[in-house]
Amino acid sequence: MVTENYDHVKAQVEEACKKAGRNPDDVVLIAVSKTKPVSDIEELYAHGVRDFGENKVQELVEKYEVLPKDIRWHMIGHLQRNKVKYIIDKVALIHSVDSLRLAETIEEEAVKKQVEADILVEVNVAQEESKFGLQTGETLGLVEEIAKLPHVHIRGLMTIAPFVENEEENRIYFQKLRQLAVDIRAKNIDNVTMDFLSMGMTGDYRTAIEEGADYVRVGTGIFGARDYNR
């Protein structure tokens, strides 16, 4: 079941790329496996999928331990500083950095484990009160500070758009994130490459791709609805 769902989403990703005149190889479809069993991940792994997203440190670590080591794990959830040490050498990309203090902890732990940390800065472009992430206006200042940390490399921006029935409503937020990345890139800050936008989920990944998403994070569309009461 998850394999068919994945293929369906992948086909939609390709169609959105075609519509936008983009190369489908430039968009990474992250299978967001949070709350879902290892067996689902194994099924997709056997199908060739390597990019998986988790939002909880403990769950990511548990899955990491038992699954093949060539999986690229994406940390997409709010990250507490005291938990950075558990994932720093296990994740390909941390999508959810929203403070200098968190980035400083990532720097310290990266040095200890002798790794380089690729991160995205999370921006709350829609200004939703319930969401983590920086305000648009404070993003450049934070990027300039994080850029001074030698083992932390800012690769782009991430946003979580509001839950909407009609994904067209989120187009404006995807445009805003892209414009912010363009503005920051124009500053040519050392140790900052604004190559990647992580935006778009099950309800709005097609629109996000049309607006330039490089990573789309799809959970429900691949694995089905989540049951948090298990």
Ligand X SMILES: *Cc1c(COP(=O)(O)O)cnc(C)c1O
Out of 29, 49, 55, 146, point to the residue binding ligand X (CB under 6 A).
55
CB 50 within 8 A of CB 70: yes
For residue 36, state whether it binds ligand X (rule: CB under 6 A): no
Local structure of residue 171 (DSSP, 8 states)? H
CB of 170 to ligand X, least distance (A): 12
State which of positions 64-93 bind ligand X (CB under 6 A): 76-77
Does residue 220 belong to the site contacting ligand X (CB under 6 A)?
A: yes
DSSP 123: B
Q: How far is the CB of 148 from ligand X (least distance, A)?
A: 27
- Is 201 a binder of ligand X (CB under 6 A)? yes
What gap in Å lies between CA 48 and CA 180, rounded to an integer?
A: 34
The verdict on 8 binding ligand X (CB under 6 A) reads no
Nearer to ligand X, 149 or 160 (CB): 160
- Shortest-Cβ-distance residue relative to ligand X: 219
Tokens of 80: 């507490």
Provide the angle, in degrees to the nearest 10, between the axes of the packed helices 57-66 and 38-46: 50
Contact positions with ligand X (CB under 6 A) in 88-127: none
Q: Which of 146, 194, 208, 218 binds ligand X (CB under 6 A)?
A: 218
CB 42 within 8 A of CB 21: no
Residue of the chain from 9, 32, 87, 88 that contacts ligand X (CB under 6 A): 32
Q: How many CA atoms lie within 13 A of 219 on its CB side?
A: 15
> 53 or 151: whose CB is closer to ligand X?
53
Give yes or no for a contact between 206 and 167, defined as CB atoms under 8 angstroms apart: yes
